[in-house]
Each structure stands twice: as structure tokens, then as C-alpha cells.
Amino acid sequence: MKSTTREKANLKGHLLPYAFAVAATFVATLLRMGLGPLVGGGAPFLTYFVAVVIVVWYVGFRAALLSVLLSVAAATYFFISPATTSPFILSKSADRVTVLGFVVASLGVTLLLDLQRKALKTVEHEAMRRRIAEETEREQRQWFETTLGSIGDAVVATDTQGRVKFMNRLAIELTGWRLEEAKGMPLRSVFHIVDEQAGVELDSPTEKVIRDGVQTGLANHTLLISKDGRKTPIDDCAAPIKRDGSTLGAVLVFRDVAARREAQRQIENSERRYRLLFQSNPQPMWVFDRDTLAFLAVNNAAVQKYGYTTEEFLGMTIADIRPAEDVPALLQDVGKRTPGLHRDGPWRHRTRDGTIISVEIAAHPIVFEGQNASLVMAADVTERQKLEEQFRQAQRLESIGRLAGGIAHDFNNLLTVINGYASVILSELPGGSPLAQRVAEIQGAGQRAAALTQQLLAFSRRQIVQPKVLNVNSVIADVDKMLRRLIGEDIDLVVKLSPDLDNIKVDDGQLQQVIMNLAVNARDAMPQGGSLIIETSNVYLDESYAAKHPEVHAGAYIMLAVTDSGTGMTPEVQERIFEPFFTTKPPGSGTGLGLATVHGMVRQAGGWIWVYSEPRSGTTFKIYFPRTEEAVPGRHTDAATSSPRGNETILVVEDQEDVRKLTVAVLEHYGYRVLSAAGGDEAIALANSFMGVIDLLITDVIMPGMSGRELAERLVADRKLRVLFMSGYTENAIAHRGILDSGLAYIQKPFTPESLAQKVREILEPESGNQT
């Protein structure tokens, strides 16, 4: 369809010139007819000649030939020989000459005009081509300059002599030269560059390009010095401009890299900070692939903590540092794919030497070198867990101690009455009588109960002690024979005492009980016999040791170690051995108070006790007592005490009625005049109303309202009298941490009538004995 249309258009284009020739001839005929009245029969070809000229000028030579032929025919027919039937038959020779002259003239003019027309068209075409070429070149130049002006790099073009021909906008800004100023100048004058580090001037890069015809670039650290002296770090390259193999000049492309350098500097600083935070972090850190679990990076702390080299780590997965039984939980945790910071733990990790440590994990998902990864920081909480467990155990023992101390205090008041009256009754009965034997059984049971309450008080650190300076070696030597009888012949006792052992300040009775209790505990752990080693030495516990044991203060100590080769203990047993009434022995074989008492006595003395044991590997108890610079006082023998009877006046103050009545009865039995009161206010009123002299105040320490110490201070302020305190425990009323203040007399409940009478005589007659 398209080809048919095109053919029709071509046919129409070919026929139009001929149609124009026909029309021109027709118009010429009409015009000649119109001129007939003016010219008559002459000049028959006047209008036809004009028509031929018009046709040849506008539509070409071939159409003009047709116009000549038609003109001859029309003129002959209408104006030369109208009588003939044929337009080409001429009856006269003159007419033939006219027609021939017209034809020759028309053909000559037509040929000349056609040649002139073609020449004019050729000139017009050439002019048009030049105009189009110039317009195209101008548009291309504008496009080129617009493009070079719009790109982000500076561009300078030179000729073969290295003279500036073109500069785009960025080149003008960076060099400081306008194009009008720089055009025709040597590039070196406009593009002034120096080495940033050396400060020396550099050659123009276009010189080599033009000389060798190759592309080149500047070295790093190049500075461009602009017309106004500005220094700009740049990168550049230069290339030859070639056409048909010939070099026409060079083009130089350069850019300001100050921003890029700053960005690079920031990246480098960021990387340094990352390496500082990652590599120098004291906590182990690593990056692992969340898909394969492979280590991608580890820091130095991880290498030191786990014992693997960096290369070994990078060949492992995070599952390799977990115990096998913990791997399923690890896979489940990693599969959660938390989007932000993720903390969990503690987890168990295994180091290269097989040590299991507890760690808490902080992880954050990151993209590391194109991989889906996690950044992990691990905190070793193994020691913290041990400290927390020690703290929990200390709190547990403290709470149990408060309970035990309160119970012991209440029982002491009851046992004071029971044991006191049993002693009074027994003294009034005939010896050997059945009733006396029964009362003696009551007294024995009461004394055993009193011993138990004393152990509870020792555990709770509420037992009143009277510390003195002593040497542990001397105490061990004093109890050596007793220890050997106690542990039996099948156990080998080995004593290793430091010859230059320093002194400590403790209650000697408590220290003996500590040694005896530990020896008994060791004996029971070796039913088939074994060895018991007792050692002493001077030690210094430093800050690192104190950091691992929260209750310990750094300083100088005396160590007492008791080691047996017995059955040892499991970790579960070790956690509870200092609890009162906890025992691993069969029912009826022990009270469970032995080690609890040891713990309380050691802590009351300001010391620390630690146990080291494993099943079937024996047990070691290490006790640390604070060292003292005081010297051991010389020994002396107490003088024989006088008879416990007397006739002095004694004021007894006790809020417990049964204890008060017993105390009054005992003192009256020994010949004393006794006044009694149930509280502090009543006692002060009684003392003020009493006309005689009160020689001794016996008061309970803890009473409702006014305490025993406050009562004593008020009575002593008005009169001369001695004071004897009594209590099941003191609650710091007359002692600090259960240690009796210097110059105060004290008797521990429960007491016997004989011990009370003896204590009273010691206070009333100090020269008969040592007042304590």
C-alpha cells in the first residue's frame, strides 16, 4: 500500500512540469488572442516565447520542449495558417521561416536558461549546505560547551603548542582565570601545579600528551595554585585530541578532591576508631556469619581469653566454643534474627584448654563485607557468679544467724531458771537419794541445752567474748594432746607451725573450740583412718584476692589451715556446710552445729573461713585471722578465790520475773541482802529511797524502756557501786560485735548459782581474783 502511494506521488511529480507547460501554452494562446486587435497577424509567437521562457526557468528543459512544440502547433493553427486542417502544415515558406525561427530561438533560449537555472540551483544548494553545516557546527559547539560546562570535572583544551583554547566553568572557578584572559596563554601559566608533599613545581601534563600522543595522569598529592593563590588538591588526567591520526591538541580533565579527601579522612578515622573500639576493647569481641556461624573477625581480648590464635578463630564457628550439649540452644537463639541489640546469657563457653566459663552476650546484627553478620561482645561473668553465690550464702547465713540468736536468747532465759532451780534443789537434797539423781538428770539436760544455745550464739556472733593477744602456735600446742585423744590412733596428726608466726587478738576459748570442731569434723570424714594436717603461716591477702572474695579486706593475716584426707564434699554440700543443723551424718550422729559454730566464731573475731574440697580428695579449711602488732602478755596464775558467801547489799534489775526471782533466791542463799526491780525506772526509785549503801548492781542488758547500760550510768553517777551485766546476748548494748568493752563485768545466761556467786565475789573483792 505504501509503495503504491509512493509510486503515485512520484508519477505526479513527473507529470506536473508537463502540465505546467500545457497550462503555460494555453495561457499564451489566450493572451495572443487577446492581443490580436493590437498586433494583427504579426508576431504570432510573441506570447508563446514568453511562455517557453517561463516554463524552462521554473520546471526545466524537458517541459520547455513540450511547451515549444505546443506553441508551434497553437500558433500555426490559430495565427499563421488558420485555414489548414493541421497545425503543423504551413502553406507559405515565410510562415515556415517564422516557425523555424521561433523553434530555434526558443530552443536556444531554453537551453541557455536551463543551464543558468541549474547553475543557480547548484549555487543555492551549496550555500544551503554551508548554512546547514555552519548551523550544525554551531549547535554542536554549543552542545559541547554546554556539556563540558555541566559535567562535574574541570576541562581545559589546548592546541598543539600547549596554548589554552577552551575552559569550562569549573576550570575557570578552580584556576581563577577567565576564558578571555587564558585563551592563547600557555597551559603552564594557567594550570600551575605543585607537589603537595615536596612543594616543588610539576610539569604540565599536556606536554607529554602532545609529544607522545598518549594519555597520562598526575601523581597523588597534587596541589593546583589558582590565580589568586588558592591551593586546591586535585586529581587529573590528560589525553590527546586526534583527527585522522593527527594530534590537534590535548584535553586536560581535573577535579577538586578536597571533599573526597575529607570523606576519605573521615572513613580512615572511622576505621581507626572501629579498630580502637574493636581490637583494643578489653572485652572479647567477634563478628560471625549468621548463616554459617563462621567467625569473620575477632579482637585481641578474645584471643587472650579463649586461647585460640586469630587464624584458628577464623577457621572455626561459634559452635566450636560451646559445649556440645549447649549447641541446640545456640542454634535456636541465633535463629531468632532479632533486628536490634540483643542481650542474653549467661552462656557456657569453652576455652582452648577445656575450661568452661560463663559469659553474658551483647549482639547486634550488621553487614560485614557484604555478609549478613552479627557483632558480639562477651563479658566473662564466671567470677561474678561466684561472688554472687558467696554473697547469697553470706546473706543466708546472716538471716539464719539472726533467727538462731533470737531463739538462743529466749532459751537462755528459760534455761537460767531451769538450771538455777535444779542446782538449788540439788544442793538441798541428800546426796545419792533417788530424788537427787532425778534432779541431777534435769540439771544435766539443762546444761546440754545451754551448750547448744551457746553454739547458736557463737554462730550468730552474739556470744560475748573477751579477746586477748595470743599466738596460734601456743594454742595448738596446748590442745595437742587433747586433739590426739579426740581423733584416735588410726588418724595421723601432722602439725606444721610457722616458727615466726605473728600474733592475733581473739578469745582463746573460742579459738580452741574452732580447732576442736574442725578436728572432729575431719575425724568423722575419715572413718577408715587417714591424716590430719594443721598448718599456720603469715600471709598477706592482696587486692586481687580481696576482689575475688567480697567479704575480705586486703591486709596481713595469720592463716590456720586444717586439711584431712577424707571423703571430701560435693559443691552442693559445700554451699550449706556452715548452715546450723545441716549435717550429712546419719540421724543421731551429730547436731549440725559444729561448722556453723566455727563460722560464727571466726567471723566474730574479724576473720574469714574458706573451704576447698572435692569428692574422694579430702577437704581443707583455711581460716584467716587479722594480724596484730601487740605483744602476748605474760602469763600469771589467779589467786585462790575466797568463799562465794557475803553480806553486801545488791540491787537486781531483771524484766523476766522468773529469772529475777531465781537470781534473788540464789544471792540470798549466799547471804547477801537483795533489792529487786523489774525495770530501770523502778530501780532508780528504789535506789533513791534506800537509806543504806548499795554495793553492787546486777542488771539485764536488754529491758523494755531503759537499757541496763543506761541504768548503770545513771546510778553510778550518784553513788559508788560496782556493776555486773547479764544477758543472753547484747545487741551491741555493752559490746561491739559481741566483744566486751574494757572494764565491764559480764555473766552469760544461763548461769548456775555457783558461777553467779563466784562472779559476784570477784567483783566485790577484786583483789581475790582478776576482774573481767
Query: What does the block give as the cell for 443?
Result: 540439771
What CA–CA distance (Å, rounded) separates 171 from 475?
99
Whole-number pLDDT of residue 772: 35
Whole-number pLDDT of residue 562: 92
Q: Which residues contact 149 (CB under 8 A, 6 or more apart)?
A: 168, 169, 170
- Whether residues 268 and 360 share a domain: the answer is yes
472-487 and 508-524 helices, crossing angle to 10°: 40
pLDDT at 742 over 60: no
Whole-number pLDDT of residue 641: 47
Mean pLDDT of 728-747: 57
Query: What does the block give as the cell for 740?
Result: 566486751
Mean pLDDT of 337-344: 80
Mean pLDDT of 657-663: 87
Q: Are 110 and 68 in contact (CB under 8 A)?
A: yes
Q: Are 532 and 522 in contact (CB under 8 A)?
A: yes
Q: Are 176 and 190 in contact (CB under 8 A)?
A: no
More confident residue, 645 or 407: 645
What CA–CA distance (Å, rounded) separates 658 from 288?
76
Residue 546 lies in a domain: yes
- Whether residues 53 and 116 share a domain: the answer is yes
What CA–CA distance (Å, rounded) separates 650 from 675?
6
Q: Which of 332, 365, 380 is the last residue of a domain?
A: 380
Please provide residue 192's backbone torsions phi and psi, each rounded to the nearest 5 degrees.
-95, 115
Residue 698 lies in a domain: yes
Q: Are 353 and 307 in contact (CB under 8 A)?
A: yes
- Whether residues 534 and 598 share a domain: the answer is yes
pLDDT digits (tens, 9 = 90+) for 493-506: 899 999 899 999 88
pLDDT digits (tens, 9 = 90+) for 215-248: 776 656 788 888 888 888 888 788 888 877 777 8
Strands 649-653 and 696-700: parallel
Please provide residue 659's backbone torsions phi and psi, each rounded to the nearest 5 degrees.
-70, -40
Kindly report which listed range (450-459, 491-500, 602-611) carries the lowest average pLDDT score.
450-459
Kindly report which listed range (21-35, 161-175, 415-429, 493-507) carries the lowest average pLDDT score.
415-429
Q: Which of 85, 103, 123 is the last residue of a domain?
A: 123
- Whether residues 470 and 609 share a domain: the answer is yes
- What size, in residues, is the chain? 772
DSSP 8-state secondary structure symbol assigned to residue 632: P
Whole-number pLDDT of residue 447: 65
Residue 246 lies in a domain: yes
**Banded model confidence at residue 459, pLDDT cuts 50, 70, 90:** very low
- Whether residues 613 and 469 share a domain: the answer is yes
Q: Which of 628, 660, 679 is the last residue of a domain?
A: 628
Best-predicted range by mean pLDDT among 125-134, 388-397, 741-750? 125-134
Query: What does the block give as the cell for 88?
Result: 503543423
Residue 38 lies in a domain: yes
What CA–CA distance (Å, rounded) separates 705 from 772?
27
Q: Are 546 and 607 in contact (CB under 8 A)?
A: no
The mean predicted confidence, pLDDT, of the chain is 80
**How many domains does the structure of the chain reveal?**
5
Q: Which residues contact 163 (CB under 8 A, 6 or more apart)?
A: 184, 185, 186, 187
Count of Cβ atoms closer than 10 Å to residue 438 Cβ: 14
What CATH number should be reported for the domain holding residue 582? 3.30.565.10
What CA–CA distance (Å, rounded) separates 65 from 46?
17
What CA–CA distance (Å, rounded) separates 192 from 204?
8
Q: Are 491 and 485 in contact (CB under 8 A)?
A: no
Q: Are 233 and 221 in contact (CB under 8 A)?
A: yes
Residue 504 lies in a domain: yes
Strands 608-613 and 530-541: unpaired
Whole-number pLDDT of residue 736: 47
R_g of the chain, CA atoms, integer Å: 64
- pTM (two decimals): 0.40
Residue 194 lies in a domain: yes
What CA–CA distance (Å, rounded) separates 102 from 286?
111
Residue 68 lies in a domain: yes
Whole-Å CA distances, 308 to 185, 353, 496: 67, 9, 43
For residue 546, the number of C-alpha atoms closer than 13 Å in the C-beta half-sphere is 10
pLDDT at 377 over 50: yes
- Whether residues 620 and 504 share a domain: the answer is yes
- Whether residues 271 and 243 share a domain: the answer is no
- Whether residues 222 and 305 share a domain: the answer is no
Q: Which helix (H) or strand (E) holds 378?
A: strand 371-380
Count of Cβ atoms closer than 10 Å to residue 379 Cβ: 16
Count of Cβ atoms closer than 10 Å to residue 626 Cβ: 16
Q: How many Å from the N-terminal Cα to the C-terminal Cα in the chain?
A: 139
SS3 563: strand
- Whether residues 756 and 655 share a domain: the answer is yes
Residue 301 lies in a domain: yes
Whole-number pLDDT of residue 465: 58
| Sign of the dihedral through C-alpha 640, 644, 650, 655 | positive
Q: Furthest-apart CA pair in the chain: how many Å?
A: 209
What CA–CA distance (Å, rounded) separates 278 from 285?
7
Residue that is written with C-alpha cell 599536556 in the block: 206
pLDDT digits (tens, 9 = 90+) for 692-725: 889 999 998 888 888 888 899 899 888 888 999 8
pLDDT at 460 over 50: no
What CATH number should be reported for the domain holding residue 292? 3.30.450.20
Bridge partner residues of 157 (DSSP) = 166, 251
What CA–CA distance (Å, rounded) separates 74 from 29?
7
Q: What angle do CA 366, 368, 369 make, to 5 degrees?
A: 155
Mean pLDDT of 510-532: 86
Bridge partner residues of 242 (DSSP) = 247
Mean pLDDT of 666-688: 91
pLDDT digits (tens, 9 = 90+) for 244-288: 777 788 888 888 888 888 888 887 787 778 777 788 888 898 999
Provide long-range contacts, Cβ within 8 A and 24+ apart, for 35-38: 36/79
More confident residue, 232 or 396: 232
pLDDT at 660 over 80: yes
Residue 250's domain comprises 152-256
- Whether residues 619 and 472 share a domain: the answer is yes
Alpha helix locations (H) across 555-645?
A: 571-574, 594-604
What CATH number should be reported for the domain holding residue 665? 3.40.50.2300
Give percent of the chain above pLDDT 90: 14
Count of Cβ atoms closer than 10 Å to residue 731 Cβ: 15
What CA–CA distance (Å, rounded) separates 349 from 378?
10
Query: What does the block give as the cell for 11?
Result: 508519477
SS3 687: helix
More confident residue, 206 or 189: 189
Whole-Å CA distances, 705 to 658, 682, 708: 19, 11, 10
pLDDT at 642 over 60: no
Whole-Å CA distances, 650 to 456, 668, 759: 31, 10, 13
SS3 399: helix
**CB burial string 280-291: b at 16+ within 10 A, e below:** eeeebbbbbbbe
- Whether residues 666 and 754 share a domain: the answer is yes
Kindly report which listed range (55-59, 291-295, 435-439, 532-536) carries the lowest average pLDDT score.
435-439
Query: What does the block give as the cell for 689?
Result: 529511797
pLDDT at 639 over 50: no
- Whether residues 252 and 267 share a domain: the answer is no
Which among 603, 624, 584, 611 is positioned nearest to 401, based on CA atoms? 603
Whole-number pLDDT of residue 306: 92
Q: Residue 424 burial by CB count (10 A; 0-12/13-18/19+): exposed, middle or buried?
A: middle
Whole-number pLDDT of residue 400: 59
DSSP 8-state secondary structure symbol assigned to residue 303: H
Whole-number pLDDT of residue 92: 59
